[in-house]
């Protein structure tokens, strides 16, 4: 063999070797990445080959896959999509959101729990079917929450819980969107629809119930009161507390007034009266006297700051970092650095209703196989002990008084004893306040705990917890109790 042929042979061997290396690299290292790449058209069509399971609320099927008999075998459809959008999410060509994402492997049938079913489908040459997800949502409560906020044209959120189990009966966020527009098997149309929603200044894609936090205003006085009751078991609704018209804030040249600068009784009132009228100064003083660490401990006993999945991810609530006494006074009335999700404040109300026990909130009641067998069923789970049953009983009594003759009379339901607390949270200079209400009913044996949040500006400059949020809560509680 002459020199030229040798060089050609060596070059061929080198190129063959490089080719083998590249093939092995692609198969061993990059295969998974390419398989999952959204530009992979095979993957695109595979997403629609399985018949995803249904999502059910009450007896209503709110999401299902429909057989088109075409190239795109199964298309996802949502009934009353706007009503349930922030709970169920959507199944788009390249992504999922909400329950569609959190329960994806069960819905599309690839979960290990469905391996036998997949084998049967393979042998019978039938498309794989996913499991059904049954939610805890009560359609009547969900519709009442949605319609009440929608009619008023308000931005905000509503959460209703079963205080004894933690089951979420309603979770609504407005403004909302139609998930059907994001579920069509057309990447271009979905991208256009998604980008339009994403650019909307009113943030319709945002689940205000769990994905972000807000200043809770005076609804947080329930946590401050719980801290005092837990610290001293001799304290009760008739215990008198200082209630100056303006409270000096240590280290500052300003004072903390009550709402609209009003007096709080004679300046020394019962704890129940202070909560009824939502006076600021008594609770700010109580917070400073208890100190940051005890206030933080009480917040933690309500689950504040704990990571939470329902199974959707919940943004952590917080009372903020330790600062000076003036900041603590503001935090004790739900201002300054205190930031809560509406779900977290519903949990506070539920704990008071449930003798001080905080139940872990959850959205999925059951997972049912295509054959009708129950694969999973959620058992209620205790999250924490916020306060003693005796302290909870005292706090319930005070919250009932708030609805009976205090700032929350708009939450009254004829023939039902309701407990609650209003909140009107300052946001920033010259910006309208947030309006809040938390409560429960019936007070003797609570079946529902609720939180209503109306975002700054959505109800005008004069929005208040009592006038704006409490009527919405009344409709939701009535819807649950009528069952």
Query: Shortest CA distance to 425 belongs to which of 378, 459, 387, 401?
Result: 459
Side-chain half-sphere CA neighbours of 326 within 13 A: 10
Query: Shortest CA distance to 68 belongs to which of 183, 188, 192?
Result: 183
C-alpha to C-alpha distance for 156 and 143, rounded to whole angstroms: 15
Which residues does the annotation mark as catalytic?
A: 218
Q: What is the chain's Cα-based Rg?
A: 28
Q: Max alpha carbon distance in the chain (Å)?
A: 114
C-alpha to C-alpha distance for 221 and 287, rounded to whole angstroms: 10
Quick one: CA dihedral 140, 142, 148, 152, positive or negative? Answer: negative
Query: Shortest CA distance to 281 belongs to which of 351, 359, 218?
Result: 218
Query: Shortest CA distance to 353 belongs to which of 104, 162, 113?
Result: 162
The residue written with tokens 């952590």 in the block is 316
Quick one: CA dihedral 345, 349, 351, 352, positive or negative? Answer: positive
Residue 74: how many CB atoms within 10 A of its CB? 23
What the block records as the tokens of 153 is: 């044209």
Q: For residue 176, give the DSSP letter.
A: -
Q: Which helix (H) or strand (E) holds 16?
A: helix 3-25
Q: Which helix (H) or strand (E) holds 290?
A: helix 281-290
What the block records as the tokens of 289 is: 């006297």
∠ Cα 377 143 203 (to 5°): 95
Mention every residue, 6+ apart, whose C-beta is less than 8 A from residue 159: 168, 170, 171, 209, 342, 343, 346, 450, 451
């Amino acid at each position: 063999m002459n020199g030229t042929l040798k060089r050609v042979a060596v070059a061929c061997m080198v190129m063959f070797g490089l080719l083998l290396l590249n093939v092995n690299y692609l198969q061993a290292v990059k295969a998974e990445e390419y398989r999952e790449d959204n530009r992979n058209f095979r993957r695109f069509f595979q997403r629609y080959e399985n018949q995803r399971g249904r999502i059910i609320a009450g007896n209503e099927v709110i999401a299902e896959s429909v057989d088109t008999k075409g190239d795109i075998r199964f298309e996802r459809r949502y009934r009353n999509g706007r009503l349930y959008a922030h709970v169920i999410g959507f199944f788009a060509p390249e992504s999922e959101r909400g329950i569609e994402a959190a329960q994806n492997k069960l819905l599309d049938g690839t979960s290990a729990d469905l391996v036998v079913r997949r084998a049967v489908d393979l042998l019978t040459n039938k498309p794989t079917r996913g499991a059904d997800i049954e939610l805890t949502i009560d359609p009547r409560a969900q519709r009442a929450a949605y319609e009440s906020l929608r009619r008023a044209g308000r931005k905000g959120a509503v959460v209703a819980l079963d205080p004894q189990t933690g089951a979420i009966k309603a979770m609504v966020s407005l403004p909302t969107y139609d998930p059907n527009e994001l579920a069509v098997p057309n990447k271009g149309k979905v991208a256009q629809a998604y980008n339009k929603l994403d650019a909307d200044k009113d943030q319709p894609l945002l689940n205000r119930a769990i994905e972000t936090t807000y200043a809770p205003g005076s609804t947080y006085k329930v946590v401050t009161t719980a801290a005092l009751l837990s610290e001293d078991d001799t304290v009760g609704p008739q215990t008198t507390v200082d209630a100056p018209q303006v409270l000096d804030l240590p280290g500052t040249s300003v004072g903390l007034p009550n709402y609209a600068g009003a007096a709080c009784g004679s300046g020394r009132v019962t704890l129940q009266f202070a909560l009824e009228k939502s006076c600021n100064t008594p609770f700010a003083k109580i917070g400073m006297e208890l100190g940051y660490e005890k206030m933080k401990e009480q917040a933690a006993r309500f689950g504040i700051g704990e990571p939470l999945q329902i199974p959707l991810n919940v943004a952590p609530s917080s009372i903020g970092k330790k600062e000076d006494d003036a900041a603590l006074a503001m935090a004790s009335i739900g201002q300054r650095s205190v930031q809560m999700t509406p779900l977290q404040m519903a949990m506070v109300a539920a704990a008071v209703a449930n003798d001080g026990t905080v139940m872990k909130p959850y959205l999925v009641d059951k997972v049912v196989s295509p054959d009708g067998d129950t694969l999973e069923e959620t058992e209620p789970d205790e999250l924490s002990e916020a306060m003693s049953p005796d302290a909870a009983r005292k706090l319930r009594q005070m919250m009932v008084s708030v609805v009976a003759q205090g700032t929350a009379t708009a939450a009254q339901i004829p023939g039902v004893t309701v407990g609650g607390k209003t909140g009107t949270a300052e946001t920033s200079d010259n910006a309208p306040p947030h309006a809040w209400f938390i409560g429960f009913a019936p007070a003797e044996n609570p079946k529902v705990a609720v939180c209503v949040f109306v975002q700054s500006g959505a109800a005008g400059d004069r929005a208040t917890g009592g006038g704006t949020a409490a009527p919405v809560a009344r409709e939701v509680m009535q819807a649950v109790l009528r069952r």
